[in-house]
Amino acid sequence: MKLEDYADRYSTVRMQRNDGILEVTFHTDGGPLRWGVVPHAEFPDAFADIARDRDNKVVILTGTGTEFSGPPGNLFVQSRPTAQFTENLISEGKRLLMNLMNIEVPVICAVNGPAWRHSEIPLLNDIVIASDDVCFQDSAHFPAGVVPGDGVHIVYPMLLGRNRGRYFLLTGQVIDAQEALRLGLVSEVMPREKLMPRARELARMILERPEVMVRHTRALLSEPIKRALLQDLAHGLNSECLALMDRPL
Protein backbone atom coordinates (compact mmCIF):
# COMPACT_ATOMS: atom_id res chain seq x y z
CA MET A 1 0.00 0.00 0.00
CA LYS A 2 1.37 3.40 -1.06
CA LEU A 3 0.16 6.86 -0.09
CA GLU A 4 -0.85 7.69 -3.66
CA ASP A 5 -3.18 4.68 -3.59
CA TYR A 6 -5.37 6.07 -0.80
CA ALA A 7 -4.54 9.73 0.00
CA ASP A 8 -7.34 11.11 -2.21
CA ARG A 9 -9.83 8.31 -1.63
CA TYR A 10 -11.82 9.96 1.16
CA SER A 11 -14.04 13.03 1.17
CA THR A 12 -13.70 13.67 4.93
CA VAL A 13 -10.02 12.80 5.44
CA ARG A 14 -7.14 14.81 3.97
CA MET A 15 -3.62 13.36 4.10
CA GLN A 16 -0.10 14.55 3.43
CA ARG A 17 3.27 13.08 4.39
CA ASN A 18 6.69 14.59 4.93
CA ASP A 19 9.73 12.51 5.92
CA GLY A 20 7.55 9.65 7.12
CA ILE A 21 5.24 11.86 9.23
CA LEU A 22 1.67 11.44 7.97
CA GLU A 23 -0.66 14.34 8.80
CA VAL A 24 -4.33 13.33 8.74
CA THR A 25 -6.87 16.15 8.82
CA PHE A 26 -10.57 15.51 9.36
CA HIS A 27 -13.01 17.87 7.65
CA THR A 28 -16.39 18.29 5.99
CA ASP A 29 -16.28 20.23 2.73
CA GLY A 30 -13.07 21.91 3.88
CA GLY A 31 -14.55 23.05 7.20
CA PRO A 32 -14.88 21.48 10.65
CA LEU A 33 -15.89 17.82 10.66
CA ARG A 34 -19.63 17.18 10.81
CA TRP A 35 -20.32 13.66 11.98
CA GLY A 36 -22.72 11.55 9.96
CA VAL A 37 -22.91 8.44 7.81
CA VAL A 38 -20.04 9.54 5.51
CA PRO A 39 -17.22 9.91 8.07
CA HIS A 40 -18.60 6.91 9.98
CA ALA A 41 -18.09 4.84 6.82
CA GLU A 42 -14.83 6.44 5.68
CA PHE A 43 -12.78 6.53 8.88
CA PRO A 44 -12.51 2.73 9.35
CA ASP A 45 -11.16 2.27 5.81
CA ALA A 46 -8.86 5.29 6.08
CA PHE A 47 -7.33 3.97 9.31
CA ALA A 48 -6.86 0.55 7.70
CA ASP A 49 -5.08 2.09 4.72
CA ILE A 50 -2.81 4.10 7.00
CA ALA A 51 -1.96 0.97 8.98
CA ARG A 52 -1.02 -1.00 5.86
CA ASP A 53 1.47 1.62 4.61
CA ARG A 54 4.89 0.89 6.07
CA ASP A 55 6.17 4.26 4.89
CA ASN A 56 4.09 5.93 7.62
CA LYS A 57 6.52 6.26 10.55
CA VAL A 58 4.47 8.59 12.79
CA VAL A 59 0.86 9.79 12.39
CA ILE A 60 -0.62 13.12 13.43
CA LEU A 61 -4.42 13.42 13.58
CA THR A 62 -6.12 16.81 13.73
CA GLY A 63 -9.30 18.62 12.72
CA THR A 64 -10.13 21.68 10.65
CA GLY A 65 -10.85 25.23 11.79
CA THR A 66 -12.20 25.88 15.25
CA GLU A 67 -13.71 22.45 16.02
CA PHE A 68 -12.30 18.95 16.10
CA SER A 69 -15.67 17.25 15.62
CA GLY A 70 -19.28 18.29 15.76
CA PRO A 71 -21.98 19.40 15.74
CA PRO A 72 -23.20 19.04 19.32
CA GLY A 73 -26.00 16.50 19.64
CA ASN A 74 -29.54 17.41 20.63
CA LEU A 75 -32.34 15.41 22.25
CA PHE A 76 -34.38 13.97 19.42
CA VAL A 77 -36.57 11.02 18.50
CA GLN A 78 -35.91 9.47 15.14
CA SER A 79 -37.91 6.71 13.52
CA ARG A 80 -36.82 3.13 14.06
CA PRO A 81 -33.88 2.16 11.81
CA THR A 82 -33.89 -0.99 9.73
CA ALA A 83 -32.07 -4.13 10.82
CA GLN A 84 -29.70 -3.69 7.87
CA PHE A 85 -28.83 -0.14 8.98
CA THR A 86 -28.11 -1.20 12.55
CA GLU A 87 -26.04 -4.21 11.46
CA ASN A 88 -23.94 -1.95 9.25
CA LEU A 89 -23.60 0.57 12.10
CA ILE A 90 -22.25 -2.14 14.39
CA SER A 91 -19.79 -3.37 11.75
CA GLU A 92 -18.47 0.13 11.04
CA GLY A 93 -18.34 1.02 14.73
CA LYS A 94 -16.15 -1.97 15.55
CA ARG A 95 -13.78 -1.34 12.65
CA LEU A 96 -13.62 2.41 13.33
CA LEU A 97 -11.85 2.05 16.68
CA MET A 98 -10.06 -1.25 16.10
CA ASN A 99 -8.54 -0.03 12.82
CA LEU A 100 -7.34 3.12 14.58
CA MET A 101 -5.70 1.00 17.28
CA ASN A 102 -4.21 -1.31 14.63
CA ILE A 103 -2.03 1.49 13.25
CA GLU A 104 1.43 0.16 14.10
CA VAL A 105 3.25 3.45 14.68
CA PRO A 106 2.71 6.14 17.32
CA VAL A 107 -0.29 8.41 16.75
CA ILE A 108 -0.31 11.99 17.99
CA CYS A 109 -3.61 13.85 18.18
CA ALA A 110 -3.59 17.64 17.94
CA VAL A 111 -7.09 18.49 19.15
CA ASN A 112 -7.72 21.85 17.51
CA GLY A 113 -11.06 22.70 19.13
CA PRO A 114 -14.13 21.22 20.82
CA ALA A 115 -14.75 17.50 20.33
CA TRP A 116 -18.50 17.29 20.74
CA ARG A 117 -18.97 13.93 19.01
CA HIS A 118 -16.88 10.75 18.93
CA SER A 119 -14.55 12.40 21.40
CA GLU A 120 -13.12 8.98 22.21
CA ILE A 121 -11.18 9.09 18.92
CA PRO A 122 -8.63 11.76 19.94
CA LEU A 123 -8.30 10.30 23.44
CA LEU A 124 -7.29 6.86 22.14
CA ASN A 125 -4.03 8.18 20.70
CA ASP A 126 -0.57 7.85 22.22
CA ILE A 127 0.05 11.59 22.69
CA VAL A 128 -2.88 14.00 23.00
CA ILE A 129 -2.24 17.75 22.91
CA ALA A 130 -4.96 20.36 22.74
CA SER A 131 -5.69 23.98 21.96
CA ASP A 132 -6.72 26.09 24.93
CA ASP A 133 -10.35 26.32 23.78
CA VAL A 134 -10.88 22.55 23.60
CA CYS A 135 -13.93 20.95 25.17
CA PHE A 136 -14.77 17.26 25.41
CA GLN A 137 -18.36 16.06 25.56
CA ASP A 138 -20.32 12.97 24.62
CA SER A 139 -23.19 15.04 23.30
CA ALA A 140 -24.65 12.61 20.78
CA HIS A 141 -25.42 9.65 23.05
CA PHE A 142 -27.23 9.68 26.40
CA PRO A 143 -28.11 13.42 26.28
CA ALA A 144 -29.54 12.83 22.78
CA GLY A 145 -31.47 9.69 23.67
CA VAL A 146 -28.87 7.13 22.52
CA VAL A 147 -27.00 4.48 24.54
CA PRO A 148 -23.32 5.55 24.84
CA GLY A 149 -22.13 2.26 23.41
CA ASP A 150 -19.70 2.89 20.55
CA GLY A 151 -16.53 3.13 22.59
CA VAL A 152 -17.14 6.04 24.94
CA HIS A 153 -18.43 3.55 27.53
CA ILE A 154 -14.94 2.03 27.54
CA VAL A 155 -12.68 5.03 27.03
CA TYR A 156 -14.06 7.54 29.54
CA PRO A 157 -14.31 5.22 32.57
CA MET A 158 -10.82 3.98 31.67
CA LEU A 159 -9.36 7.48 31.63
CA LEU A 160 -11.46 9.27 34.24
CA GLY A 161 -12.15 6.40 36.64
CA ARG A 162 -15.41 4.48 36.93
CA ASN A 163 -17.45 7.03 38.86
CA ARG A 164 -16.34 10.15 37.02
CA GLY A 165 -16.64 8.33 33.69
CA ARG A 166 -20.22 7.28 34.38
CA TYR A 167 -21.11 10.77 35.58
CA PHE A 168 -19.63 12.25 32.39
CA LEU A 169 -21.66 9.93 30.14
CA LEU A 170 -24.96 10.22 32.04
CA THR A 171 -24.98 14.01 32.49
CA GLY A 172 -23.52 15.31 29.23
CA GLN A 173 -20.74 17.00 31.20
CA VAL A 174 -18.47 19.37 29.27
CA ILE A 175 -14.79 19.14 30.20
CA ASP A 176 -12.75 22.18 29.16
CA ALA A 177 -9.08 22.23 28.25
CA GLN A 178 -7.64 23.01 31.67
CA GLU A 179 -9.84 20.42 33.37
CA ALA A 180 -8.87 17.88 30.69
CA LEU A 181 -5.22 18.63 31.47
CA ARG A 182 -5.79 18.25 35.20
CA LEU A 183 -7.65 14.96 34.74
CA GLY A 184 -5.01 13.55 32.39
CA LEU A 185 -7.17 13.39 29.26
CA VAL A 186 -4.59 15.55 27.46
CA SER A 187 -0.90 16.09 28.12
CA GLU A 188 -0.35 19.66 26.89
CA VAL A 189 -2.56 22.71 26.32
CA MET A 190 -1.54 25.69 24.18
CA PRO A 191 -2.88 28.37 21.82
CA ARG A 192 -4.18 26.89 18.57
CA GLU A 193 -1.47 28.51 16.45
CA LYS A 194 1.20 26.58 18.38
CA LEU A 195 -0.60 23.24 18.20
CA MET A 196 0.57 21.78 14.88
CA PRO A 197 4.16 23.03 15.26
CA ARG A 198 4.27 21.25 18.63
CA ALA A 199 2.73 18.08 17.15
CA ARG A 200 5.37 18.07 14.39
CA GLU A 201 8.11 18.64 16.95
CA LEU A 202 6.94 15.61 18.92
CA ALA A 203 6.66 13.55 15.71
CA ARG A 204 10.23 14.44 14.71
CA MET A 205 11.45 13.43 18.15
CA ILE A 206 9.83 10.01 17.74
CA LEU A 207 11.12 9.74 14.18
CA GLU A 208 14.71 9.96 15.44
CA ARG A 209 14.32 6.70 17.37
CA PRO A 210 14.97 3.25 15.81
CA GLU A 211 11.94 2.14 13.81
CA VAL A 212 11.61 -1.37 15.27
CA MET A 213 11.79 0.01 18.80
CA VAL A 214 9.13 2.62 17.96
CA ARG A 215 6.74 0.11 16.39
CA HIS A 216 7.02 -2.32 19.28
CA THR A 217 6.59 0.45 21.83
CA ARG A 218 3.34 1.43 20.11
CA ALA A 219 2.22 -2.21 20.14
CA LEU A 220 3.06 -2.65 23.81
CA LEU A 221 1.34 0.54 24.97
CA SER A 222 -1.80 0.02 22.90
CA GLU A 223 -2.35 -3.67 23.72
CA PRO A 224 -4.34 -3.15 26.98
CA ILE A 225 -6.64 -0.69 25.22
CA LYS A 226 -7.18 -3.10 22.33
CA ARG A 227 -8.06 -5.87 24.78
CA ALA A 228 -10.64 -3.66 26.47
CA LEU A 229 -12.18 -2.77 23.11
CA LEU A 230 -12.25 -6.41 22.02
CA GLN A 231 -14.00 -7.35 25.25
CA ASP A 232 -16.69 -4.67 25.45
CA LEU A 233 -17.04 -2.73 22.19
CA ALA A 234 -19.41 -5.16 20.44
CA HIS A 235 -21.64 -5.35 23.54
CA GLY A 236 -21.87 -1.57 23.65
CA LEU A 237 -22.72 -1.26 19.96
CA ASN A 238 -25.36 -3.98 20.25
CA SER A 239 -26.93 -2.19 23.23
CA GLU A 240 -26.93 1.09 21.35
CA CYS A 241 -28.68 -0.44 18.35
CA LEU A 242 -31.16 -2.35 20.52
CA ALA A 243 -32.29 0.95 22.05
CA LEU A 244 -32.63 2.43 18.57
CA MET A 245 -35.03 -0.38 17.70
CA ASP A 246 -37.28 0.77 20.56
CA ARG A 247 -38.16 3.95 18.67
CA PRO A 248 -41.49 4.40 16.82
CA LEU A 249 -41.88 2.98 13.34
Give me the active site residues, please. Answer: 120
Q: Would you say 217 and 106 are in contact if contact means Cβ atoms under 8 Å apart?
A: yes
- One-letter identity of residue 98: M
Grouping H, G, I as helix, E, B as strand and the rest as coil, residue 134 is coil
Q: Cβ atoms within 10 A of the Cβ of 183, count? A: 15
Kindly report whether the peptide bond that precedes residue 71 is cis, defined as omega within 30 degrees of 0.
Answer: yes
DSSP-assigned letters across all residues of 26-93: E-BTTBS-B-SHHHHHHHHHHHHHHHH-TT--EEEEE-BTTBSBBPPP----PPPPPHHHHHHHHHHH
User: What's the CA gap between 181 and 230, in Å, rounded?
Assistant: 28
Give bridge partners of residue 188 from the DSSP assignment: 129
Number of H helices, E strands in the chain: 9, 8
- CA angle 26-32-36, nearest 5°? 75
